[in-house]
Amino acid sequence: DIVMTQSPDSLAVSLGERATINCKSSQSLLSSSNNQNFLAWFQQKPGQPPKPLIYWASTRESGVPDRFSGSGSGTDFTLSISTLQAEDVAIYYCQQYYSVPITFGQGTRLEIK
């Protein structure tokens, strides 16, 4: 199974500042067939289902603000929020969909400093 490890477990950032969450996979998520990384990011607020933010490691879902961006390739990935807004307080998860079982990182809790 591919193990997904996020860092940090929790993060406190001031409003308007940049937040960065890291995700590392135990094996490469880069497919030679389409040259894409099978990595997604989700945002979950209390009492709500996870909301997809990013797929193919760097493609934003429709309607996701452009302050959210994804980067990385192979085994190391990053979710960045350029200017933190109050509504971005949530838990963020990375997910690999390269192979089954599909696996998630343990989550990173983002709070306002």
Partner 1 sequence: EVQLVESGGGLVQPGGSLRLSCAASGFSFSSVWMAWVRQAPGKGLEWVANIKGDGNEKYYIDSLKGRFTISRDNAKSSLYLEMSGLRVDDTAVYYCAKGFGTDRWGQGTLVTVSS
Contacts with partner 1, residue ranges (CB under 8 A): 1, 38, 40, 42, 44, 49-52, 55, 61, 93, 95, 97, 100-107
Minimum distance between the CB of residue 25 and partner 1, rounded to whole angstroms?
14
Please give the Cα distance from 37 to 27 (Å, whole number).
11
Minimum distance between the CB of residue 82 and partner 1, rounded to whole angstroms?
23
**Residue closer to partner 1 (CB basis): 52 or 82:** 52
Do 80 and 72 contact (CB within 8 A), yes or no? no
Minimum distance between the CB of residue 19 and partner 1, rounded to whole angstroms?
19
**Residue closer to partner 1 (CB basis): 55 or 81:** 55
**Residue closer to partner 1 (CB basis): 24 or 61:** 61
Q: Where are the beta strands (DSSP E) in 1-113?
A: 4-7, 10-13, 19-25, 39-44, 51-55, 59-60, 68-73, 76-81, 90-96, 103-104, 108-112
